[in-house]
Amino acid sequence: MSGVRLFLSALLLVTTHAAADLAHWPRQSSPFPIDSGEEARLDGIIAGMSLSDKVGQVIMGEIQYTSPKDVKRYRLGAVLNGGGSFPDKERHASAADWLTLADAYYQASVDRDDGRPVIPVIWGTDAVHGHNNVFGATLFPHNIGLGATADSELLRLIGAATAREVAATGIYWNFAPTIAVPRNDRWGRTYEGYSEHPELVAELGAALIEGMQGAVGRDFMAPGKVLATAKHFLGDGGTRDGVDQGRTWASEEELVRIHAAGYRTALKSGAQTVMASFSSWNGVKMHANPYLLQDALKGAMGFDGFVLGDWDAHSQIPGCKPHNCPEALNAGVDMYMAPKRWKRLHRNLLRQARNGEITIARLDDAVRRILRVKLRAGLLDAPPPSQRPVASGNEGDAVSRSGWIGHPDHRALARSAVRQSLVLLKNEGRVLPIAPKSRVLVAGAAASNVPNQLGGWSMTWQGDDIGNPDFPGATSILDGVRAAVQGGGGTMLFRQFAEVPGGQEEPLPDVALLVYGEEPYAEYEGDVETLEFGPRDKSHLQAAGRLQAAGVPVVSVLLNGRPLAVVNEIAASDAFVVAWLPGSEGAGVADVLIARANGEPHFDFRGRLPFSWPGSPDQAELNQGDEPYEPAFPFGFGLRYERAR
Ligand code: GLC
């Protein structure tokens, strides 16, 4: 290690440890009792591994840059498919196609005849709101909408359903849930957070994990379960100005109370992997922070699984490159997510292990943690992916012909989640629910465009460059309204904003339902300067104004990945509904907005704001407990039909 890098590393350590105090951290231990038999088995495996095997085990490559042959030659521990990455780059790949590739990686990883231990590779994916990379999968509301439900049992069921669809494709590990606590809504990943409220995040994250993995001591990693990932450790939602991968400045007490709340419960629920955050804490990058990764997480909090780095995030450590960064392993990252440059990284890590830049003890600890998780999860003894019970085609008659992917039960669960996530901010004159035997005008391209209701991480990373045909089985908001209104003897019209209220010859509608919102985004692409909605295009507002001038009641449905300053939109609406990013089952919106024939609601609103709602665009950092606290609508707000009586 060069003198400069040595100095930087030393400076880093001093900075990190200067004022730190582990007394701030919850003392807890792994929910898994140490199993001496398992540890002895790990001893044997590690003893039989070559140095090159060990280095390979701590590296994850991306499937577009990592062949099964590579996995065999370098003995890689893991592969991933990034957002928008598919077998053969085919976005409409079937579950069978995913399974075929999973089998190829698995077989390559166990194919060796040199007498050294056989260690299956593990495949990780971002199934962050259902198995969102897979054609025909069920897409659940993004976490912000699930936060509005505040229903941990629902989260548990969603975790289990998501796991079944992931397992059906032969994938063993899901990089979810994000248990960030977003504190500045300018952040492009606000919608990946359940709430600004740490304890709500802690409750929902733990439930998702238990549903995804099964409960420790009960059905942990039973057939149809997959490993979860608690991410991104630590303080990803607390960066200044909500800058993604930015700088979190906070006291250690605040960091633990707010940003570590979800990890306390995630680890107790058996989370076996934690993904390190791109962000930094008080000037030190998380991927280079041994105090937080080793002393706090693995020491005080008793985490005995492994820490996965984020997408080349180690390269952001001063002095590091994607292919050269001993600092990350030395700081407590146990596996590098090195999508493209993993070959050079393998070569450099091997050299650094030989020359002492990386201690063998630290390398062995990282390998042991990875192997412990693979052993606990049953992967070391599992059959090839396509022969596992829940793999597509093996489900038996318990599952409809289409298999688990997009299973009707999962879609029904997702539709229920949509209903429970909707938040009613305004309902003057009981405009809602809408009697089905009405003339209902639906306006706005977003009403029929499924991508608008999905958000990012949907077939593609950004949720862009996609269309309704990419989501067979999905229903748009318009689909749901049409079925409910026409089913109730009413009439439904669909127009673009510019066309409303319609030509002179057209009778005016009884009510207008305007659907509008944010365009899909993910990560830093979604960072914004203010919370103003639609700065350029105001056609939705103009349409609302014309409708109200014509005496037509206006219901607005907002599709949003974060709270937005929509004071004008709310003023121009008689009723205002926050729908967040509802996922593939858009019909769930009509379930609540369109009434029974007798005018009674099919379902009442249940959603409550999981984030404080701003009155002005500059109120991006607005959280319950602030002094002063002047939201347009406070955390927990949500109207009901019931109370409106
Ligand atoms: C991304 C995200 C992380 C995701 C990973 C793999 O950069 O930060 O949440 O799991 O890369 O796609």
- Judged against a pLDDT cut of 60, whether residue 514 lies above it is answered with yes
- Judged against a pLDDT cut of 90, whether residue 584 lies above it is answered with yes
Centre of ligand 1 to C-alpha 311, Å, is 6
- Judged against a pLDDT cut of 50, whether residue 200 lies above it is answered with yes
The pairing of strands 575-578 and 423-427 is antiparallel
Quickly list H helices, 189-303: 198-213, 252-254, 261-268, 290
User: What's 110-178 look like in SS3?
Assistant: HCCCCCCCCCCCEEEECCECECCCCCCCCECCCHHHHHHHCCHHHHHHHHHHHHHHHHHCCCCEECCCE
Nearest to 123 by CA among 171, 165, 60, 158: 171
* Binding site membership of 244 for ligand 1 (Cβ less than 6 Å): no
- Judged against a pLDDT cut of 90, whether residue 501 lies above it is answered with no
- Judged against a pLDDT cut of 50, whether residue 645 lies above it is answered with no
Distance CA 415, CA 582 (A): 9
For CA atoms 262, 264, 268, 272, give the dihedral sign. positive
DSSP code of residue 214? -
* Binding site membership of 86 for ligand 1 (Cβ less than 6 Å): no
pLDDT at 10: 61
In testing the pocket of ligand 1, which one of 178, 310, 457, 527 has its CB within 8 Å of the most ligand atoms? 310
User: pLDDT per residue over 85-138, tens digit each?
Assistant: 999 999 999 999 999 999 999 999 999 999 999 999 999 999 999 999 999 999
Backbone angles phi, psi at 284, to 5 degrees: -115, 125
* Binding site membership of 310 for ligand 1 (Cβ less than 6 Å): yes
The segment with the largest mean pLDDT, out of 4-8, 417-421, 536-540, is 417-421
In testing the pocket of ligand 1, which one of 63, 311, 335 has its CB within 8 Å of the most ligand atoms? 311
Domains and CATH numbers, the chain: 3-131+160-392 (3.20.20.300), 422-644 (3.40.50.1700)
The residue whose CA has the least distance to atom 11 of ligand 1 is: 311
Centre of ligand 1 to C-alpha 514, Å, is 34
* Binding site membership of 25 for ligand 1 (Cβ less than 6 Å): no
Distance CA 76, CA 81 (A): 15
Across all residues in the chain, what is the average pLDDT? 96
pLDDT at 16: 52
- Judged against a pLDDT cut of 70, whether residue 506 lies above it is answered with yes
Nearest to 129 by CA among 526, 417, 445: 417
pLDDT band for 14, please (50, 70, 90 cuts): low
185 alpha carbon, distance to own chain's centre: 16
Centre of ligand 1 to C-alpha 229, Å, is 11
- Judged against a pLDDT cut of 60, whether residue 444 lies above it is answered with yes
Backbone angles phi, psi at 578, to 5 degrees: -95, 115
Centre of ligand 1 to C-alpha 387, Å, is 29
Residues 6+ positions from 284 with CB-CB distance below 8 Å: 12, 15, 16
- Judged against a pLDDT cut of 80, whether residue 274 lies above it is answered with yes
The neighbour count for residue 407, using CB atoms within 10 Å, is 22
pLDDT at 311: 98
- Judged against a pLDDT cut of 80, whether residue 503 lies above it is answered with no
